[in-house]
Amino acid sequence: MMKRSPDEIKRVVSERYGALAGGRLAATGGSSCCDPSCCGPSEAPTAAEPLVQLFYSPEELKDLPEEALSSLGCGNPTAIAGLKEGEHVLDLGSGGGLDCFLAAQKVGASGRVVGLDMTPEMIELARRNAGKVGLSNVEFHQGEMERTPFPEASFDVIISNCVINLSPDKDAVFRESFRVLKPGGRFRVSDIVWLRAPTEKERSDLESWAGCIAGALMAEEYVAKLTAAGFSNVRARLRDDGGDRGFTSANVEAEKPVAGQRSGEPVVTVGAPAVASSEGAGLPQGTCCEEPAGRETGSSAMGLSDLEREFVGLGAAVGAGCHPCTQYHTQAALKAGLSVEEILWAVDEAQAVRARGGIAVANVGRRILGAGQQELPAEQAPACRGAALVRLGAAAGCNSGVLLAGYAEQAAAHGVQGVELREAIDIAEMVKTQAGKFLQRDAERALGSATEPVGATAPAASCCAAAETSESADPPPGTEVGASDRGCGCAQEQQ
């Protein structure tokens, strides 16, 4: 079977995407290289709206004009980038500009977003869309990601959406990405990866190259190449769609290390965020608690992992002050693979939020009475994603809307946005609702029998799964955990 040359591949890819952009420029509709199931050689839909609805939340898109709401991607890299005010962002293969516009909103007027695309028609389309969006901190440049036209250490973050698979020289892409990132900079991309070795025929199909498939790397190969380029803490989260097609989409994350920083082991997980070890030094902000092979991972596509769901559930249970709920989620967290130390740390985090929630609620009454309000105790920003999820769950559990808004922002800063944020809030609301039912049951028992203490008997069913039976949630006998030993690795690292 004939091996395709880099020039052939680039020509076919450029023609394909140039035609798509030209069609949109002519207002004839256009189509996408990728279908809603995430890229393939089959016929693409006639509009990109299904992709936008699949990967982006209505909240993210509400301030953008309709003309900018098109995506040729296989994910939402801005949702995992943890973008902050003032950061400089590079989007490799920026297409019509959607991810650039979302990133520009996040980094604000003091930040800057640059889109890079090799197709002149795509650059023209993106600039036309930028004029309608009206953001002054975004710009678009024509060029190749194998040879980026930017100085060394120019950007804090690199994002990309289903584009690196189109390059015939991915080693060059990763080397250039490393070069233009600042030390400590973040690499956050959504891309297609093979789950098996593709055949020679599959690799040589030019239409499949343009359709995001033939040029994709295997998941382990993607991680290995990034590591070889110098990146640290490389992790890939694969979409859990069964892998029947032999390929899937992935969120890939890595960092350019700061001098002297130790790197965590490269990780590939399915259906859940790859999480770095709690024992490693120099862990990136936004990771928390080890998730090695053997721990269960989440089953939902691009959602929270099982460990993260238990962070939320445990936080909500403690926040709601629900004994059986806390008992259930302690057991569930142990089954999911969290250690006793990690669970006790999460309980302490949630209890602190519950105390803050009590003060916030008390201040409502004080305001009505015109009395002086209590000051909320000072609190540091969450050191990691797990801490943010515990706090979010606890705020929802103790029914503090004021705290919930603040903790939602903290969680978003650690990449919990869109589908993941909605899932976290849904879990917390479910626990809070169940806690109310237990409270009602105990009140009815108290009214029915003066000799039976309120809440003395644990329910036969768990708080979240009626068919399961609760058991003791106490730590294993003989376990001694001091306060200084509790917490996730990145929390300890930053103390």
Handedness of CA 65, 71, 77, 80 (dihedral sign): positive
Identify whether the C-beta of residue 168 lies closer than 8 Å to the C-beta of residue 142. no
The answer for residues whose C-beta is within 8 angstroms of residue 217's C-beta and 6 or more apart is: 165, 170, 193, 194, 225
> Is it the case that residue 2 has pLDDT exceeding 80?
no
Percent of the chain at pLDDT > 70 equals: 68
> What pLDDT score was predicted for residue 404?
84
pLDDT in tens, 120-132: 998 999 999 999 9
Task: Determine the CATH number of domain 306-370+380-449+457-493.
Answer: 1.20.1290
Cα separation, 468 vs 477, in Å, equals 23
Q: What is the predicted pLDDT for the residue at 135?
A: 92
How many residues make up the chain in this entry?
495
Residue-wise pLDDT for 312-369, tens only, equals 999 999 999 898 898 888 888 888 777 787 888 889 888 888 888 888 767 777 777 8
* Encoded tokens for 25: 């420029």
Per-residue CA distances from 416 to 38, 82, 188, 411, 476 (Å): 21, 8, 14, 5, 32
Q: In this predicted structure, what is the pLDDT of residue 390?
A: 92
Q: Is it the case that residue 100 has pLDDT exceeding 80? A: yes
Q: Grade residue 493 by pLDDT with cuts at 50, 70 and 90.
A: very low
Do 269 and 263 contact (CB within 8 A), yes or no? Answer: no
Identity at 380, one-letter amino acid code: Q
How many CB atoms sit inside 10 A of residue 261's CB?
16
Residue 457 CA, distance from chain mean position: 39
Work out the pLDDT band at 476, boundaries 50, 70, 90.
very low
Domain boundaries, the chain: 6-270, 306-370+380-449+457-493
Identify the bridge partners of residue 160 per DSSP, sorted by sequence position. Answer: 92, 189
pLDDT digits over 225-281, tens only? 999 999 998 988 887 655 567 888 889 999 999 875 655 566 666 554 433 322 222
Nearest to 79, CA basis, from 50, 106, 109 = 106
DSSP 487: S
Return the pLDDT at 442: 81
Report the run of H or E that residue 251 belongs to, with start and end: strand 247-255
Classify strands 232-238 and 247-255 as parallel, antiparallel or unpaired. antiparallel
In CATH, what class is 6-270? alpha beta
The pLDDT assigned to 206 comes to 65
**Residue 74 pLDDT > 90, yes or no?**
no
d(CA 51, CA 74): 8
Residue with tokens 């991680």: 223
Expressed in angstroms, the distance from the first to the final Cα of the chain is 58
Selected residue with higher pLDDT from 66 and 144: 144
Residue-wise pLDDT tens digits, 363-374: 777 777 878 777
Beta-bridge partners for 318: none
Using CB atoms within 10 A of its CB, is residue 218 exposed (0-12), middle (13-18) or buried (19+)? middle
Distance CA 158, CA 183 (A): 12
CB 16 within 8 A of CB 210: yes
pLDDT tens-digit map of 9-63: 667 766 776 676 677 667 534 433 443 334 433 333 333 455 676 788 888 888 8
Provide the whole-model pTM. Answer: 0.55
